[in-house]
Structure 1
Amino acid sequence: PERLVAHDPAYARGAQRLGALLRKARELLEGGGTAEEALWELWDGTPWPGRLERAALRGGAAGRNADRDLDAVCALFDAAARAEERTGGRGALNFLEELDAQDIAADTLSRRAVRPDAVRLMTAHRSKGLEWRLVVVAGVQEGLWPDLRRRGSLLEADRIGRDGLAEPLSPGALLTEERRLFYVAATRARERLVVTAVKAPADDGDQPSRFLAELGVEPRDVTGRPRRPLAVAPLVAELRATTVDPEATPALRDAAARRLARLAALTDEDGHALVPAAHPHSWWGLYEPTRSTVPLRDRDHPVALSGSTLDQLENTCALQWFLGREVKADAPATAAQGFGNVVHVLADEVASGRTPADLAVLMERLDSVWDGLAFDAPWKSAQEKEHARVALERFLRWHVTDRGGRTATATEHGFDVTLEAGPYEVRIRGSMDRVERDAEGRAYVVDFKTGKAAPTKDEVAHHPQLAVYQLAVREGALDEVFDGRRPEPGGAELVQLRQAAPKKEGGEDFPKVQAQEPLAGEWVGDLLASAAGRVLDERFTPATGQHCAHCAFRASCSAQPEGRQIVE
């Protein structure tokens, strides 16, 4: 430590303290101290014990990590103590070498500091010599208590005796030992003992232990479940509901409020609330809804919409669209989205002539970028890569097949047109995967899909994204592609590259194709007007459906149990 005095104290102070601590431990060992004593000197000389204690008492994820760290430290001290007792003290270096040589960890159980006014959870063995006012012995099931299976450590060290290896306990001796242990657990209660077990209707299901009959009390059958889970969060929820329940008596509401106040006032030694949900500050349902003074969209400008936006606003969930697209709170791109992007890029390269329509070439291009996609496991990456190969193979077959005389005119064609939709001006923009010219000179739009689900035939007939593409064609989005002439929309289709065509259309070798007829009627204009009005009026109400299973905003959605705390 003396060498550090020439350095800036702000940087050297910690190193000086550590050097002094290590010197004290070295001097202790040189004076004949044990490894356990040296460990204690190091442990007690740092602020780490205090930090771990505070974190453990605070609870939560950090508390659980602190508990594990404390267990590990206690196990280290126990190992040092056992080593001294077993070998008569062979020095710290020998102890460290012994730890390093262990292939099987020694016993990690260690006693924890007892928190006041807390429930103690322990085994029957640990309860010997202790007593409490109330004791609960849970899970007293036949097969678990008594447990007549042979047990012991992996290497059966428990059989080592003074005269060599002892014989394993017989079933009768095991039963006697289990009965004695049950007696120990049951006699720890000074005032009240609760013993629980599960009884299944069928004879071959879980049954109570035979020891229950030896208690001298007739067991009481309790059917059904508790009215709420026996945990802090459900307790707070029940108390909160009681305080605002119009059918509850004033006395009951007052009692619930007082209990909530007691819970809200509980803090740890650092002043952090132990039950923050008990405080009314977090009861969002009591607050009036907030409103933004700045509108989401300027009513004096056209409302910008895309085909996918229209589909989500009208057919999926407006709240999901708002939180994902406008708030930008959507989850990061997934590997499935990366899969789709790669396949789309390769399909575009083939259609535009930049890459030959050869599967081997496409797979070589795929190999060059595939490792950039993040999958949960190597097997998943291999599985998805095979799906990509099949999708590309189907695309190539579709690409070279005659499709009623249609010829490719443009790929990945961007468009941006403004039109009238009811009382609103709407700006629709996006990109068409592929544009083809049919035999009658009309424009036909193709949209490649790589998802695992496909719409029904009726849903395709009014598919918003395909309809927007056709509407854009009608409004001049492809005029320059068709040499300045405005083509009529000749229809549109979804090409499902992940899904095989029906047998009569080629089967597994070809993709499933879902076509939409040329636009008829005003339904797509009405759909645009409805979506534009929803955005301008900021009406983003949730709608439930299959999409909810994969929604990232369930905890913020009032239509889901997880999100009802927002309004209740």
Structure 2
Amino acid sequence: AAGVKAARTVNSSGTPAGSDRPDGGEGLRWAPGVTAEGVLWAMWDATGLGESWRRVALGGGLSGVRADRNLDAVVALFDVAAKYVDQLPQMGPRGFLEHLRGQDVAGDTLVASAPSDDTVSLLTAAGAAGRQWRFVVVAGVQEGVWPDLRLRGSLLGSERLVDVVTGRGQSLRAAQAAVRYDETRLFMVAVSRASERLLVTAVRSDEEQPSVYLDIVDPPEESDDGHELRSFSEVPRPMNLGGLVAELRREVVVGRTASERHTAARQLARLAAARVVGADPASWWALTPLSDDRPLRAEGVSVSVSPSRIESFNECSLRWLLSACGGDGPSVGAANIGTLIHDIAAELGDVDEATMRAEVEVRWGRLGLPAGWLSRRQLFEAQSMVARLARYYEESAAGGWERVGAELDMEVELGRALLKGRVDRLERDGGGALRVVDLKTGSSKPSKGDLLRNAQLGAYQTAVEHGAFAEHGGASAGAALLQVGKAAGVKTTLQVQGPLSMDDEPGWAQKLVTDTAEGMAGRHFVATIGQACTFCAVRSSCPVQPAGRVI
């Protein structure tokens, strides 16, 4: 559209225009004042669809309904763009596109909502305080969940002030008693919100047990041998076809008599003939054979291997597979501090600390963080990162290292493995050997023992030795992790992995890459229990986790 072209300008200096260039090209960026909302208006005016859709919508009929729906979608898009510009005025149209792509569910809608008296309120116990309903459901009253007796604290430690004012002790036992008191009080708040009917639910299985709070609401009966028993509640099935199918399938398996099982099977056959979903045994997961036993990649087909994914694959190949297929969810864009530091390091080069601090100030508004002390704290952390980075630049130059480039793409073939990725920084020593430096902005770092066989650094060295940067050199001087985040020490924290040629087993990294490629191309992916399970994003699909055993 003409309006979009008019919004572009060429940077006369020829330097990269930043992460919000109109088309990703060098030297192009959006002119000052250009926003996503303005570009959308220019595009909408250029289409000329507004008046024609309005006439069709007012005309009624199926075409009118379709046009009305299209107009609603356009209005909703403009509304989202307006809110985005209000919240992130420094981000341009490209940032708005990343914002939309990162949404699992539309952030706004024009669909009419139900009246407040025809809805179900979904609240925490604290959020329900002071309100009342005729019917209240308190769900998931499980041991370890309610009460949750883990000790908690606040950022400013205000609970200690409460202890002093109220005269409560500050010992471990006193803290545990305070947590139990708070949990009990919240439970009483929850169950006392009902004026007519209260339903409390819990689950008993091999992995889960009901909370002791359930006994407060409904004390169990005591058997003749002194054991307290609580029978399972019979939950009536929903009055729909799905509920009927589920009940019949259960009767087929656990029916008390053969006659009951046969009757249920005949009813399922009738429903299957009527194409009711779930009635046909061919659609039952428990009876479904393996759909495909072929390998993920055919024999001889190359396999793309990223250095940053090698360790993840070898920790748990199933997690790698599910994550690679979208299990981690959509990308939320580049609005985070780590990406900000990487961008500044790549685009500005080896500049001094003052220049990088100023650039952090200029770009800080793109993160969309609300104003306040927390944002100021994170800004201080970002400026500390670039200060460590600037100090490393000085020490690196003094040590005889030359910056060859940053954010350089690499790609080499090792058998069927296509080792490809991007390096944060490439350096060259006085003898012409190359060293890859990977910037780390996190709070953890590998131990010295783990560093010797760090998979990512080993893969970088292997790529160098196989000509990934042949125009700059072919010998590896090692690889390193530069810690600029909370994992950094007082002095520059550069964790160096020595050259592969100096290792007792020089070919270990290449073998790891090729073995990983074979594993990624295989037909079997094993779920492995480890420390990463605690933070795994795909544990609900993992067969060794309780959450993943239910379909």
Q: Which residue pairs with 1:443 in the alignment?
A: 434
**Cα 1:524–1:279 shift into 2, 3 Å:** same
| Residue identity in the other structure for 1:560 | Q
Q: What SS class does the counterpart of residue 468 from structure 1 fall into?
A: helix
Residue 9 to residue 392, structure 1, CA distance change in 2 (3 Å): closer
**Is there any run of 5+ residues in structure 2 with no aligned partner, and where?**
1-57, 66-112, 121-129, 138-195, 198-210, 238-242
Corresponding residue of 1:373: 367
The answer on 1:70 being equivalent to 2:115 is: no
Aligned to 2:480: 493
Is the Cα contact below 8 Å between 1:415 and 1:431 reproduced in 2?
Answer: yes
1:498 counterpart SS class: coil
Partner of 2:541: 556
Aligned to 1:466: 457
Preserved contact between residue 243 and residue 254 of structure 1 (Cα < 8 Å): no
Q: 2:346 aligns with which of 345, 348, 364?
A: 348
- Cα pair distance change 1:558/1:71, threshold 3 Å: closer
Cα pair 1:261 1:279 within 8 Å, conserved: no
1:454 to 416, 427, 445: 445
Partner of 1:537, secondary structure, is coil
Relative distance call for 1:332 and 1:560 in structure 2 (3 A) is same
Counterpart for residue 480 of structure 1 = 471
Other-structure match for 1:320:
319
Q: How does 1:35-50 map to 2 (within 5 A)?
A: none
How big is the shift at 1:480?
A: 0.8
Q: Deviations over 1:214-240 (max 9, x none)?
A: xxxx9748867858687679x999997
Q: Label 1:277 to 1:492 Cα distance change in 2 as closer, same or farther (>3 A).
A: same
Give the AA of the match of 2:297. R
Question: CA separation in 2, counterparts of 1:558 and 1:476?
Answer: 41
User: For each residue in 1:83-137, what CA deviation from the matched residue of structure 2 results, as whole angstroms up to 9, or x when unmatched?
Assistant: xxxxxxxxxxxxxxxxxxxxxxxx99898xxxxxxxx879xxxxxxxxxxxxxxx
Q: Is the 8 A contact 1:417 1:477 kept in 2?
A: yes
| Aligned partner letter, 1:477 | A
- The structure with the larger Rg is 1
Displacement of 1:288 in angstroms is 0.7
* Deviation, structure 1 residue 447: 0.5
Task: Please tell me whether the aligned partners of residues 443 and 487 of structure 2 are also in contact (alpha carbons under 8 angstroms).
Answer: no
Aligned to 2:494: 513
Q: Determine if the alignment matches structure 1 residue 534 to structure 2 residue 519.
A: yes
Maintained 8 Å contact 2:252/2:262: yes
Q: CA deviation at 1:492?
A: 1.0
> Quick check: 2:248–2:267 contact (8 Å CA) kept in 1?
no
1:365 is displaced (CA, Å) by 2.4
Q: Secondary structure at the match of 1:401?
A: helix
Structure-1 separation of matches of 2:236 and 2:446? 45
Amino acid at match of 2:319: Q
Determine helix, strand or coil for the equivalent of 1:479.
coil
Aligned to 1:412: 407
Q: Amino acid of the residue matched to residue 524 of structure 1?
A: A
Give the CA RMSD over aligned residues.
5.1
CA distance in 1, matches of 2:377, 2:262: 56
Equivalence for 1:284: 285
Q: For the residues of structure 2 that align with 1:303 and 1:13, how far apart are their CA atoms?
A: 50
Offset from partner CA, 1:168-207 (integer Å, 9 cap, x none): xxxxxxxxxxxxxxxxx99xxxxxxxxxxx989xxxxx97
Deviation at 1:343, TM superposition (A): 0.8
Q: Is the 8 A contact 1:330 1:552 kept in 2?
A: yes
Report the secondary structure of 2:319's partner residue.
Answer: helix
> Is the Cα contact below 8 Å between 2:221 and 2:228 reproduced in 1?
no
Shift of residue 477, structure 1, vs aligned partner: 1.9
How does the TM-score come out when normalised to structure 2?
A: 0.52
**Within 5 Å, which residues of 2 pair with 1:69-468?**
69-70=117-118, 220=222, 251=256, 283-291=284-292, 296-315=296-315, 317-325=316-324, 327-334=325-332, 338-350=336-348, 352-353=349-350, 356-359=351-354, 361-373=355-367, 381-402=375-396, 404-420=399-415, 425-468=416-459
In the TM superposition, residue 471 of structure 1 has moved relative to its aligned partner by 0.6
Contact 2:251 2:261 in 1 (8 A): yes
**2: CA distance between counterparts of 1:481 and 1:333?**
33
On the 8 A contact 1:499/1:512 being kept in 2, the answer is: no
When residues 9 and 237 of structure 1 are mapped into structure 2, their CA distance, relative to the original with a 3 A threshold, is: closer
Count of residues in Structure 1 that have an aligned counterpart in Structure 2: 355
2 CA distance for matches of 1:230 and 1:376?
A: 49
Partners of 1:417 and 1:472 within 8 A in 2: yes
Determine helix, strand or coil for the equivalent of 2:356.
Answer: helix
Once residues 379 and 235 of structure 2 are traced to their aligned partners in structure 1, the CA distance between those partners, rounded to angstroms, is 46
Q: CA deviation at 1:335?
A: 7.2
Give how far 1:377 is off.
9.4
Sequence identity (%) = 28
Q: 1:289-335: CA deviations, max 9, x gaps? A: 11177x643533432212023222223x222222332x244322347
Distance in 2, matches of 1:418 and 1:238, equals: 56
Deviations 1:254-273 (A, max 9, x none): 8689789999999xxxx999
SS at match of 1:471: helix
Once the 2 structures are TM-superposed, how far is the Cα of residue 344 of structure 1 from its aligned partner?
A: 0.7
Give 3-state SS (helix, strand or coil) of 1:429's partner.
strand
Q: How does 1:23-34 map to 2 (within 5 A)?
A: none
- Using a 3 Å threshold, how does the CA distance of structure 1 residues 365 and 333 change in structure 2: closer, same or farther? farther
Q: Does the 8 Å CA contact 1:406/1:438 hold for their aligned counterparts?
A: yes
Shift of residue 398, structure 1, vs aligned partner: 2.0
What is the alpha-carbon distance in structure 2 between the residues aligned to residue 376 and residue 226 of structure 1? 50
The one-letter code of the counterpart of 2:426 is V
Q: How far apart, CA to CA, are the structure 1 residues paired with 2:523 and 2:448?
A: 32
Separation in 2, partners of 1:561, 1:428: 36
Could you say if the C-alpha distance between residues 531 and 263 of structure 1 is closer, same or farther in structure 2, counting changes exceeding 3 Å? same
Q: Distance in 1 between matches of 2:463 and 2:453?
A: 16
What are structure 1's unaligned runs of at least 5 residues? 1-6, 15-64, 73-106, 112-119, 123-184, 187-197, 201-205, 213-217
CA distance in 1, matches of 2:364, 2:329: 21
Does the CA contact (< 8 Å) of 2:248 and 2:268 recur in 1? Answer: no
